[in-house]
Structure 1
Amino acid sequence: MPERTVSQSMAQRHVISVLPTATVHAAACVMMRTNSSSVLVIDTNKTMLGIVTERDMINRVLAKTVDPSRTTVAEVMTRSPHCVNPETKVADAVLMMIERGFRHLPVVSTDSHKILGVFCLRDALPREVHAAVNLAEFNEQVNDALG
Protein backbone atom coordinates (compact mmCIF):
# COMPACT_ATOMS: atom_id res chain seq x y z
CA MET A 1 0.00 0.00 0.00
CA PRO A 2 1.50 3.37 -0.99
CA GLU A 3 2.29 5.89 1.70
CA ARG A 4 -0.31 8.59 2.12
CA THR A 5 0.53 12.27 2.11
CA VAL A 6 -0.70 14.76 4.69
CA SER A 7 -2.93 16.30 2.01
CA GLN A 8 -4.59 12.93 1.38
CA SER A 9 -5.14 12.29 5.08
CA MET A 10 -6.38 15.63 6.42
CA ALA A 11 -9.87 15.24 7.89
CA GLN A 12 -10.72 18.91 7.39
CA ARG A 13 -9.95 20.39 4.00
CA HIS A 14 -10.72 24.01 4.83
CA VAL A 15 -8.78 26.54 6.87
CA ILE A 16 -10.16 27.32 10.32
CA SER A 17 -8.80 30.72 11.32
CA VAL A 18 -9.26 33.80 13.48
CA LEU A 19 -7.66 37.22 13.56
CA PRO A 20 -4.96 37.86 16.19
CA THR A 21 -7.33 40.23 18.00
CA ALA A 22 -9.91 37.48 18.59
CA THR A 23 -10.35 36.41 22.19
CA VAL A 24 -9.46 32.91 23.32
CA HIS A 25 -13.16 32.44 24.10
CA ALA A 26 -14.13 33.37 20.53
CA ALA A 27 -11.47 31.00 19.15
CA ALA A 28 -12.77 28.19 21.37
CA CYS A 29 -16.28 28.82 20.02
CA VAL A 30 -14.98 28.63 16.43
CA MET A 31 -13.19 25.38 17.25
CA MET A 32 -16.33 23.92 18.83
CA ARG A 33 -18.55 24.94 15.89
CA THR A 34 -16.15 23.42 13.36
CA ASN A 35 -15.25 20.38 15.47
CA SER A 36 -11.59 21.33 15.20
CA SER A 37 -8.80 20.90 17.74
CA SER A 38 -6.89 23.94 16.51
CA VAL A 39 -7.32 27.31 14.87
CA LEU A 40 -4.81 29.22 12.77
CA VAL A 41 -4.16 32.86 13.61
CA ILE A 42 -4.10 34.77 10.34
CA ASP A 43 -3.87 38.52 9.80
CA THR A 44 -5.92 40.53 7.31
CA ASN A 45 -3.22 39.98 4.64
CA LYS A 46 -3.77 36.20 4.91
CA THR A 47 -0.37 35.76 6.58
CA MET A 48 -0.21 32.98 9.16
CA LEU A 49 1.03 34.37 12.47
CA GLY A 50 0.50 31.32 14.65
CA ILE A 51 -1.70 28.48 15.80
CA VAL A 52 -3.79 27.91 18.93
CA THR A 53 -4.67 24.36 19.95
CA GLU A 54 -6.82 22.81 22.66
CA ARG A 55 -3.61 22.03 24.52
CA ASP A 56 -2.52 25.69 24.34
CA MET A 57 -5.85 26.74 25.80
CA ILE A 58 -5.50 24.29 28.67
CA ASN A 59 -1.84 25.02 29.44
CA ARG A 60 -1.66 28.75 28.71
CA VAL A 61 -5.13 29.90 29.71
CA LEU A 62 -7.09 27.56 31.97
CA ALA A 63 -4.18 26.22 34.03
CA LYS A 64 -2.93 29.76 34.62
CA THR A 65 -6.44 31.09 35.40
CA VAL A 66 -6.23 33.62 32.58
CA ASP A 67 -9.59 35.11 31.55
CA PRO A 68 -10.38 33.72 28.07
CA SER A 69 -12.84 36.51 27.36
CA ARG A 70 -10.17 39.17 27.95
CA THR A 71 -7.16 37.42 26.43
CA THR A 72 -6.42 37.54 22.71
CA VAL A 73 -5.19 34.54 20.78
CA ALA A 74 -2.08 36.56 19.89
CA GLU A 75 -1.11 36.39 23.58
CA VAL A 76 -1.25 32.59 23.81
CA MET A 77 -0.64 31.29 20.28
CA THR A 78 2.38 29.33 19.16
CA ARG A 79 4.10 31.81 16.86
CA SER A 80 5.48 30.81 13.46
CA PRO A 81 4.57 27.12 13.75
CA HIS A 82 6.44 24.45 11.83
CA CYS A 83 4.65 23.76 8.55
CA VAL A 84 4.74 20.97 5.99
CA ASN A 85 3.91 20.85 2.31
CA PRO A 86 0.97 18.77 1.08
CA GLU A 87 3.24 16.07 -0.37
CA THR A 88 4.89 15.30 2.98
CA LYS A 89 4.43 11.65 3.89
CA VAL A 90 2.23 11.09 6.93
CA ALA A 91 4.90 9.04 8.73
CA ASP A 92 7.41 11.90 8.24
CA ALA A 93 4.93 14.45 9.62
CA VAL A 94 4.18 12.23 12.61
CA LEU A 95 7.90 11.75 13.24
CA MET A 96 8.33 15.53 13.31
CA MET A 97 5.46 15.79 15.79
CA ILE A 98 6.93 13.10 18.03
CA GLU A 99 10.41 14.61 18.02
CA ARG A 100 9.25 18.19 18.54
CA GLY A 101 6.34 17.59 20.90
CA PHE A 102 3.29 18.92 19.08
CA ARG A 103 0.16 17.46 17.50
CA HIS A 104 -0.77 19.89 14.73
CA LEU A 105 1.06 20.94 11.56
CA PRO A 106 -0.20 23.63 9.20
CA VAL A 107 -0.06 22.47 5.59
CA VAL A 108 1.19 25.12 3.16
CA SER A 109 1.66 24.74 -0.59
CA THR A 110 5.27 24.96 -1.68
CA ASP A 111 4.68 27.03 -4.79
CA SER A 112 2.05 29.59 -3.79
CA HIS A 113 2.55 29.47 0.00
CA LYS A 114 -1.23 29.09 0.30
CA ILE A 115 -2.46 27.69 3.61
CA LEU A 116 -4.35 24.48 2.85
CA GLY A 117 -5.33 23.38 6.36
CA VAL A 118 -3.91 21.64 9.40
CA PHE A 119 -2.69 18.06 9.63
CA CYS A 120 -3.50 16.66 13.06
CA LEU A 121 -2.06 13.57 14.71
CA ARG A 122 -5.62 12.17 14.71
CA ASP A 123 -5.47 12.17 10.89
CA ALA A 124 -2.76 9.48 10.88
CA LEU A 125 -3.57 5.79 10.67
CA PRO A 126 -2.16 3.47 13.36
CA ARG A 127 0.32 1.91 10.91
CA GLU A 128 1.63 5.39 10.01
CA VAL A 129 2.05 6.30 13.68
CA HIS A 130 3.78 2.95 14.29
CA ALA A 131 6.21 3.59 11.41
CA ALA A 132 7.01 7.05 12.82
CA VAL A 133 7.54 5.69 16.34
CA ASN A 134 9.91 3.03 15.00
CA LEU A 135 11.85 5.68 13.10
CA ALA A 136 12.00 7.94 16.18
CA GLU A 137 13.36 5.05 18.25
CA PHE A 138 15.93 4.27 15.56
CA ASN A 139 17.00 7.93 15.40
CA GLU A 140 17.38 8.00 19.18
CA GLN A 141 19.55 4.86 19.11
CA VAL A 142 21.75 6.33 16.37
CA ASN A 143 22.12 9.61 18.30
CA ASP A 144 23.03 7.69 21.48
CA ALA A 145 25.63 5.66 19.58
CA LEU A 146 27.14 8.77 17.99
CA GLY A 147 26.97 11.03 21.02
Structure 2
Amino acid sequence: MAERNVFQSIPHRRVVSLSPQASVWEAACVMTKANCGSVLIIDTAGVMLGILTERDLMTRVLAKALNAEKTPVTEVMTHNPLCVVPEMPVSDAVLILLERGFRHLPIVSSAGQILGVFSIRDALPREIDSAVSLAEFRDSVNDALG
Protein backbone atom coordinates (compact mmCIF):
# COMPACT_ATOMS: atom_id res chain seq x y z
CA MET A 1 0.00 0.00 0.00
CA ALA A 2 1.43 3.37 -1.03
CA GLU A 3 2.01 5.85 1.74
CA ARG A 4 -0.19 8.92 1.85
CA ASN A 5 1.28 12.36 1.48
CA VAL A 6 0.62 15.18 3.93
CA PHE A 7 -1.95 16.88 1.72
CA GLN A 8 -3.97 13.66 1.42
CA SER A 9 -3.86 13.21 5.18
CA ILE A 10 -5.37 16.51 6.29
CA PRO A 11 -9.14 16.26 6.77
CA HIS A 12 -9.83 19.99 6.54
CA ARG A 13 -8.41 21.72 3.53
CA ARG A 14 -9.38 25.20 4.59
CA VAL A 15 -6.67 27.42 5.96
CA VAL A 16 -7.36 28.98 9.35
CA SER A 17 -5.63 32.34 9.27
CA LEU A 18 -5.51 35.86 10.67
CA SER A 19 -3.87 39.12 9.74
CA PRO A 20 -0.74 40.30 11.56
CA GLN A 21 -2.83 43.02 13.23
CA ALA A 22 -4.94 40.47 15.13
CA SER A 23 -4.67 40.07 18.87
CA VAL A 24 -3.80 36.87 20.67
CA TRP A 25 -7.35 36.85 22.06
CA GLU A 26 -8.76 36.92 18.51
CA ALA A 27 -6.45 34.06 17.56
CA ALA A 28 -7.61 31.96 20.51
CA CYS A 29 -11.24 32.60 19.55
CA VAL A 30 -10.65 31.63 15.91
CA MET A 31 -8.78 28.47 16.93
CA THR A 32 -11.56 27.52 19.34
CA LYS A 33 -14.29 28.11 16.76
CA ALA A 34 -12.40 26.11 14.11
CA ASN A 35 -11.47 23.40 16.65
CA CYS A 36 -7.83 23.52 15.60
CA GLY A 37 -4.50 23.88 17.35
CA SER A 38 -2.93 26.60 15.24
CA VAL A 39 -3.59 29.62 13.11
CA LEU A 40 -1.45 30.93 10.27
CA ILE A 41 -0.61 34.62 10.23
CA ILE A 42 -0.87 35.86 6.65
CA ASP A 43 -0.40 39.39 5.32
CA THR A 44 -2.66 41.10 2.78
CA ALA A 45 -0.45 39.88 -0.09
CA GLY A 46 -1.05 36.27 0.98
CA VAL A 47 2.44 35.77 2.41
CA MET A 48 2.68 33.61 5.51
CA LEU A 49 4.52 35.50 8.24
CA GLY A 50 4.18 32.94 10.99
CA ILE A 51 2.12 30.44 12.91
CA LEU A 52 0.55 30.75 16.34
CA THR A 53 -0.10 27.48 18.16
CA GLU A 54 -1.75 26.31 21.36
CA ARG A 55 1.72 25.83 22.81
CA ASP A 56 2.62 29.44 21.93
CA LEU A 57 -0.50 30.62 23.75
CA MET A 58 0.46 28.64 26.83
CA THR A 59 4.21 29.35 26.97
CA ARG A 60 4.46 32.81 25.45
CA VAL A 61 1.21 34.39 26.63
CA LEU A 62 -0.32 32.69 29.68
CA ALA A 63 2.96 31.75 31.40
CA LYS A 64 4.16 35.34 31.00
CA ALA A 65 0.82 36.83 32.08
CA LEU A 66 0.48 38.90 28.89
CA ASN A 67 -2.80 40.63 28.15
CA ALA A 68 -4.30 38.52 25.34
CA GLU A 69 -6.57 41.33 24.16
CA LYS A 70 -3.68 43.77 23.77
CA THR A 71 -0.88 41.46 22.65
CA PRO A 72 -0.52 41.25 18.85
CA VAL A 73 -0.04 37.79 17.36
CA THR A 74 3.20 38.95 15.73
CA GLU A 75 4.73 39.39 19.19
CA VAL A 76 4.30 35.73 20.20
CA MET A 77 3.97 33.72 16.97
CA THR A 78 6.67 31.55 15.47
CA HIS A 79 8.08 33.60 12.60
CA ASN A 80 8.89 31.94 9.26
CA PRO A 81 7.87 28.41 10.28
CA LEU A 82 9.29 25.35 8.61
CA CYS A 83 6.89 24.34 5.83
CA VAL A 84 6.49 21.13 3.88
CA VAL A 85 5.37 20.43 0.32
CA PRO A 86 2.05 18.63 -0.21
CA GLU A 87 3.80 15.61 -1.75
CA MET A 88 5.88 14.87 1.38
CA PRO A 89 5.18 11.39 2.76
CA VAL A 90 3.36 11.47 6.09
CA SER A 91 6.08 9.45 7.86
CA ASP A 92 8.70 12.04 6.79
CA ALA A 93 6.54 14.84 8.18
CA VAL A 94 6.02 12.91 11.43
CA LEU A 95 9.79 12.46 11.69
CA ILE A 96 10.24 16.24 11.41
CA LEU A 97 7.65 16.76 14.14
CA LEU A 98 9.39 14.25 16.41
CA GLU A 99 12.93 15.47 15.80
CA ARG A 100 12.17 19.18 15.98
CA GLY A 101 9.56 19.08 18.74
CA PHE A 102 6.92 20.67 16.52
CA ARG A 103 3.21 19.92 16.54
CA HIS A 104 2.18 21.65 13.32
CA LEU A 105 3.68 21.97 9.83
CA PRO A 106 2.19 24.36 7.28
CA ILE A 107 1.77 22.76 3.86
CA VAL A 108 2.83 25.08 1.02
CA SER A 109 2.94 24.22 -2.68
CA SER A 110 6.06 24.80 -4.77
CA ALA A 111 4.22 27.79 -6.23
CA GLY A 112 3.85 29.26 -2.73
CA GLN A 113 0.16 28.50 -2.23
CA ILE A 114 -0.75 27.79 1.40
CA LEU A 115 -2.75 24.55 1.41
CA GLY A 116 -3.26 23.70 5.07
CA VAL A 117 -1.52 22.54 8.23
CA PHE A 118 -0.33 19.00 8.98
CA SER A 119 -0.51 17.75 12.56
CA ILE A 120 0.46 14.44 14.20
CA ARG A 121 -3.29 13.83 14.56
CA ASP A 122 -3.47 13.52 10.78
CA ALA A 123 -1.11 10.53 10.72
CA LEU A 124 -2.17 6.89 10.88
CA PRO A 125 -0.55 4.57 13.43
CA ARG A 126 1.52 2.78 10.75
CA GLU A 127 2.86 6.13 9.51
CA ILE A 128 3.81 7.11 13.05
CA ASP A 129 5.45 3.70 13.62
CA SER A 130 7.49 4.14 10.44
CA ALA A 131 8.70 7.58 11.56
CA VAL A 132 9.53 6.35 15.07
CA SER A 133 11.52 3.41 13.63
CA LEU A 134 13.48 5.78 11.41
CA ALA A 135 14.13 8.15 14.33
CA GLU A 136 15.38 5.25 16.47
CA PHE A 137 17.62 4.08 13.61
CA ARG A 138 19.08 7.57 13.22
CA ASP A 139 19.73 7.73 16.97
CA SER A 140 21.54 4.39 16.94
CA VAL A 141 23.67 5.46 13.96
CA ASN A 142 24.54 8.73 15.69
CA ASP A 143 25.44 6.84 18.88
CA ALA A 144 27.64 4.45 16.92
CA LEU A 145 29.42 7.31 15.18
CA GLY A 146 29.97 9.08 18.48
TM-score by length of 2: 0.97
Distance 2:109 2:13 in 1: 13
Which amino acid counterpart does residue 138 of structure 1 have in structure 2? F
Question: What's 1:124 paired with?
Answer: 123
Question: What's 1:39 paired with?
Answer: 39
Question: What's 1:72 paired with?
Answer: 72
How big is the alpha-carbon RMSD for the aligned residues of Structure 1 and Structure 2?
0.7
Is 1:102 matched with 2:87? Answer: no
Identity of aligned residues (%): 60
Determine helix, strand or coil for the equivalent of 1:49: strand
Question: What's 1:143 paired with?
Answer: 142
Unaligned runs of at least 5 residues, structure 1: none
Determine helix, strand or coil for the equivalent of 2:107: strand
Distance 1:143 1:21 in 2: 44
Determine helix, strand or coil for the equivalent of 2:51: strand
Deviation at 1:64, TM superposition (A): 1.2
Runs of 4+ residues over 3 Å off in structure 1: none
CA deviation profile, 1:54-105 (whole Å, cap 9, x unmatched): 1110111011111111101100000110000000000000001101110100
Deviation at 1:140, TM superposition (A): 0.9
Distance 2:12 2:142 in 1: 36
Deviation at 1:35, TM superposition (A): 1.1
Deviation at 1:114, TM superposition (A): 0.3
CA deviation profile, 1:13-44 (whole Å, cap 9, x unmatched): 01110011100000111111111110000011
Range with bigger deviation, 123-132 or 83-92? 123-132
Question: What's 2:11 paired with?
Answer: 11
TM-score by length of 1: 0.97
Which amino acid counterpart does residue 58 of structure 1 have in structure 2? M
Question: What's 1:56 paired with?
Answer: 56
Which amino acid counterpart does residue 114 of structure 1 have in structure 2? Q
Q: How many residues align?
A: 146
Unaligned runs of at least 5 residues, structure 2: none
